[in-house]
């Protein structure tokens, strides 16, 4: 049997070393950067949804006009 069989040191990954500011409860700049990135992403998603809705409403309003014109012919 191996000698180090019961030695589980290092199992489960490594912990990040905290700065003094983080130890005292202040958030790191990394957290602020993630928040800014998330805000930008949400804004982009909102704009994309608005454009998609505008396109679908434009095609939906154009379709009944075509159907109405072809039904009368």
What's the pTM?
0.46
- Residue 37 CB-half CA count within 13 A: 6
* Tens-digit pLDDT profile for residues 21-55: 777 777 667 778 888 999 999 999 999 999 999 99
User: Quick one: which of 33, 28, 4 has its CA closest to 16?
Assistant: 28
pLDDT tier, 73 (very low <50, low <70, confident <90, very high otherwise): very low
Mean pLDDT of 5-29: 71
Query: What is the C-alpha separation between 45 and 47, in angstroms, rounded?
Result: 5
Q: Where are the alpha helices (DSSP H) in the chain?
A: 20-23, 29-72
CB proximity list for 28: less than 8 A, separation 6 or greater: 19, 21, 22
Domain residue spans of the chain: 35-59
């Amino acid at each position: 049997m191996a000698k180090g069989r019961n030695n589980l040191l290092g199992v489960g990954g490594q912990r990040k070393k905290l700065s003094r500011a983080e130890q005292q409860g202040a958030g790191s700049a990394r957290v602020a950067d993630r928040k800014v990135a998330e805000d930008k992403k949400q804004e982009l998603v909102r704009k994309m949804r608005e454009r998609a809705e505008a396109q679908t409403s434009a095609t939906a309003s154009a379709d009944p006009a075509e159907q109405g014109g072809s039904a009368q012919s």
